[in-house]
Amino acid sequence: VVVVQNASVLELKKALRRHFQLRQARQGGVQHLSWKYIWRTYHLTYAGEKLADDRKKLREYGIRNRDEVSFIKKLRK
């Protein structure tokens, strides 16, 4: 997924959403994913740190080119 250098976490989430929608359209898979459910159920993480603040810049988390972020399931309260 490609985002600009000074992108925020929210912009990364939007880019992930676009990427998955395009991929599903090309492959003919499931046409609808509930992103509301995904963001309620999973955290985006980088180097063991949750990307919790949508307004925070990726640079502030130390994310650079070709770095990988991953989803982890949120724990129930």
Comparing 10-14, 29-33, 37-41, the range with the smallest average pLDDT is 29-33
Question: Residue 40 sits in which domain range?
Answer: 9-73
State yes or no: pLDDT of 28 exceeds 90: no
Give the domain CATH number at 56: 3.10.20.90
| pLDDT score, position 32 | 82
Confidence of residue 33 (pLDDT cuts 50, 70, 90): confident
Alpha-helical runs (H) found in the chain: 9-27, 35-41
Residue 36 domain-assigned? yes
Residue 2 domain-assigned? no
List own/partner pairs for 58-67 with CB under 8 A and 24 or more apart.
58/3, 58/6, 58/7, 58/8, 58/9, 58/12, 59/5, 59/6, 61/9
**In this predicted model, what pLDDT tens digit does every residue of 45-77 receive, in sequence order?**
999 999 999 999 999 999 999 999 999 999 876
State yes or no: pLDDT of 5 exceeds 90: no
